[in-house]
């Protein structure tokens, strides 16, 4: 076959020393078949969708061919997994093909996930099943449509080969796009080895790639730490504002670029409960919905520990700097969360009691077992027309009086805003989605694909989620929570 054209790789991470990664090519598969190509993303990346969808392109997306300019590597990293430190993890089933510079001038990684064993596989097969691949495709693209920083999905390819977990499953490969795949765990890998030279090289690489403003500072590594904290605090706040639960916030799943990465046991809440857990392996609720801010803070503390040799030569001074910077997390997070809650409630000015007003609504939602997404969405209608109050109240079927007690306070607060009702409704609907990846809808799409090779539910769900804020006739069922017999309470990482 001819070489595959149209992939303008411009690799930088592969130029770092060899101890940062392992060089290897993906393991070929038997019969690759393209399930989904994200043509809009391909164009944004400067890639030719036609070339990617060609037989040669599908061979590359499956790992059977290496495109010109690609320098395939598996990245080394460590990480705290559920609080326990593992000094070597790394890309056990993923290979970075290379980097491209997109139409906006941003450098983006192109990685194959499920592309075979690597030196970091720890006796695993390095493969992925079609279910987890399509789950990541669905949820990552839904997050992008919601405006939340995230890795993206460029393509999903089935392999024509089975993989074995609890039973036989069809195999697949995901092509993932990220601003980078550098994690807190990447820094931990070198810190655990006392490799200060590598830490400095890695930090300088991150600054050049993600935080160039730090280069102008007399304390570049302090500015780097400050910037990563600000991005992570804002990211986690945005998760909470849409009811998203990552499920496995290990330090190796904490992106230095501030993107949501590694969609394993993740889900969106239906009924609001701050202690909601979806991960089948999170037995203690470490990564429950309401714990995510404190876990992000904990992960960033681990990042700060790795930077200590770079922050100052004197260890006491370095620790003082790290603690001072880490102390800014809460103000960044609270500002992002309260600002977002104000927008969700239709408040455009700031008053001292706004945080309490929002928290009291959340408490009422917990008592009433009200659906998180629909409550905020219907409040937008109620903000324009009090006759719509009843539609919100019906969601609090376990304790409607909790909503009744809160409603007059919200009305009183809205009365002090200057916007007209129609403008307020429009603004609220622009931040309160109607369609999210409801767990039961995701599971139905994955089951159809894995059990019957029927990708129509997957395609339809993607179409709905591409415009999460826009109400469309005929899609009412996609806005509804799961029926009682279809509730999905645990999800799995699929490794």
Residues that are catalytic: 252
Phi-psi region of 36 (alpha: psi -120 to 50; beta: other; left: phi over 0): beta
Q: What is the dihedral of CA 384, 386, 390, 396, to 10 degrees?
A: 70
d(CA 43, CA 50) in angstroms, rounded, equals 10
Structure tokens at 250: 């290990």
Block residue for tokens 């394993």:
264
- Identify the helix (H) or strand (E) that includes residue 110: strand 107-113
Q: What is the dihedral of CA 111, 456, 129, 8, to 10 degrees?
A: -10
d(CA 407, CA 396) in angstroms, rounded, equals 12
Tell me the torsion sign for CA atoms 179, 251, 462, 55. Answer: positive
DSSP state of 94: E
Report in angstroms the alpha-carbon separations of 282 from 246, 247, 288: 11, 8, 8
Report in angstroms the alpha-carbon separations of 432 from 373, 381, 422: 7, 11, 15
Structure tokens at 332: 């960044």
d(CA 266, CA 491) in angstroms, rounded, equals 7
Cα 235 from chain centre: 9
Backbone angles phi, psi at 444, to 5 degrees: -65, -40
CA within 13 Å, CB half, 431:
23
User: Helix crossing, 220-241 with 292-311: angle to 10°?
Assistant: 170
Of 193, 160, 209, the closest CA to residue 76 belongs to 193
d(CA 242, CA 58) in angstroms, rounded, equals 35
At a CB cut-off of 8 Å and minimum separation 6, what does 324 contact?
none
d(CA 227, CA 58) in angstroms, rounded, equals 38
């Amino acid at each position: 076959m001819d070489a595959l054209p149209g992939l303008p790789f411009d690799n930088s991470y592969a130029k770092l020393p060899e101890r940062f990664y392992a060089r290897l090519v993906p393991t070929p598969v038997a019969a690759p078949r393209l399930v989904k190509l994200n043509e809009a993303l391909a164009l944004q990346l400067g890639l030719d969708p036609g070339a990617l969808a060609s037989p040669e392109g599908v061979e590359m997306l499956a790992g059977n061919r290496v495109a010109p300019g690609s320098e395939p590597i598996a990245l080394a990293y460590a990480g705290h997994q559920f609080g326990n430190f593992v000094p070597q993890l790394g890309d056990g089933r993923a290979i970075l093909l290379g980097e491209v510079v997109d139409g906006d001038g941003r450098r983006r990684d192109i990685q194959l996930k499920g592309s075979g064993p690597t030196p970091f596989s720890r006796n695993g097969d390095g493969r992925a099943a079609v279910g987890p691949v399509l789950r990541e495709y669905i949820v990552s693209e839904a997050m992008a449509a919601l405006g939340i920083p995230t890795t993206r999905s460029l393509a999903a390819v089935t392999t024509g080969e089975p993989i074995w977990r609890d039973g036989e499953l069809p195999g697949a490969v995901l092509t993932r796009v990220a601003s980078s795949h550098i994690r807190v765990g990447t820094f931990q890998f070198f810190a655990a080895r006392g490799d200060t030279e590598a830490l400095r090289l890695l930090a300088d690489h991150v600054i050049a790639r993600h935080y160039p403003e730090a280069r102008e500072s007399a304390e570049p590594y302090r500015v780097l730490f400050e910037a990563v904290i600000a991005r992570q605090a804002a990211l986690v706040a945005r998760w909470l504002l849409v009811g998203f639960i990552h499920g496995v916030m290990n330090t190796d799943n904490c992106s230095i670029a501030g993107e949501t990465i590694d969609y394993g046991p993740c889900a969106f809440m239906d009924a609001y409960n701050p202690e909601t857990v979806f991960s089948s392996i999170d037995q203690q609720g470490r990564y429950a919905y309401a714990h995510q801010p404190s876990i992000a803070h904990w992960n960033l503390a681990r990042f700060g520990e790795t930077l200590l040799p770079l922050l100052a030569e004197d260890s006491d001074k370095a620790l003082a700097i790290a603690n001072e910077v880490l102390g800014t997390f809460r103000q960044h997070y609270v500002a992002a969360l309260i600002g977002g809650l104000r927008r969700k409630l239709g408040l455009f000015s700031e008053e001292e009691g706004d945080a309490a007003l929002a928290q009291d609504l959340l408490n009422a939602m917990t008592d009433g077992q009200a659906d998180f997404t629909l409550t905020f969405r219907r409040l937008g209608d109620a903000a324009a027309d009090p006759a719509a109050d009843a539609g919100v109240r019906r969601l609090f079927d376990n304790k409607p009086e909790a909503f009744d007690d809160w409603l007059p306070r919200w009305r009183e607060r809205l009365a002090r805003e200057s916007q007209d009702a129609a403008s307020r409704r429009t603004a609220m609907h622009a931040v309160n989605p109607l369609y999210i990846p409801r767990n039961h809808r995701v599971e139905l799409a994955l089951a159809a694909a894995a059990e019957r090779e029927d990708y129509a539910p997957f395609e339809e769900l993607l179409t709905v989620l591409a415009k999460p804020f826009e109400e469309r006739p005929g899609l009412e069922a996609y806005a509804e929570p799961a029926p009682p017999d279809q509730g999905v309470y645990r999800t799995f990482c699929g490794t």
